[in-house]
Amino acid sequence: MESPSRQLDVMRLGRRPYAEVKELQERLVAERVSGQVGDTLILTEHDPVLTLGRGSAPDEARGLELPVFEVERGGEATWHGPGQVVAYPIFYLPPQRRDLHRYLRDLEEVVLRSLAEVQIEGRREEGKTGVWIGDQKVCSIGVAVRRWVTWHGLALNVHNDPDAFLGIRPCGLDPALMTRVADHAQVPPANLLFEVLLVKHFLEVFELELPEPPARPDEGGVGPGGFPDLPMHPG
């Protein structure tokens, strides 16, 4: 099953409905399990939606005017929507990485390193999953694993509506405890910067590499993974 080169294919989807991307995840997981494809990182931004993990209360979505999906990941309810970078790693965990607590810590490490690139000191909260800035949560994480292939993933609040979490208890928390990167650093209005940073640190933490891009002499300025040639460090 495992690709000898441990290469990572990156799919940048832009803004897509949740149902469409969930269906894509399911297909890629099946193909990864059967060895038809290698590791893939999906980067996307969703239309507003509420997802309910396995730990959600039955009445969590009552009275909300949002599409609601009950999903296979761990964790409780959370919101996805514009201004949030969502990353879904479809990764095969080799024998030395078959520790789900380690996998969750590795996802947190990807986010912590990405925040550090814009001079934000993120942190872990003892007994909880995700990434925090001070006493507020900036990144939610919930995963599922099928035959040691991961899916679902993380959602990093970058410049979403600060009131987006009102009306629910995101990850079981008071919505006032949710924050976003834009409240702590000057960041571009689009998601590209944090897509680049997340890819960079996924490669480092999971010891993967991007495939060499095909030669395109007529179109310069495009780097590995379909990203424009940008410096990995802002500024």
Query: Which residues does the annotation mark as catalytic?
Result: 171
Distance CA 172, CA 14 (A): 28
CA-based max dimension of the chain: 56
Total residues belonging to the chain? 235
Asked if 89 contacts 111 with a C-beta cutoff of 8 angstroms, the reply is no
SS3 of the chain: helix, strand, coil, percent, to 5: 25, 30, 45
Q: How far apart are CA 178 and CA 188, in angstroms?
A: 20
Name the token pair of 20.
């469409």
CA dist list (Å): 182 to 5, 23, 153, 190: 37, 31, 21, 11
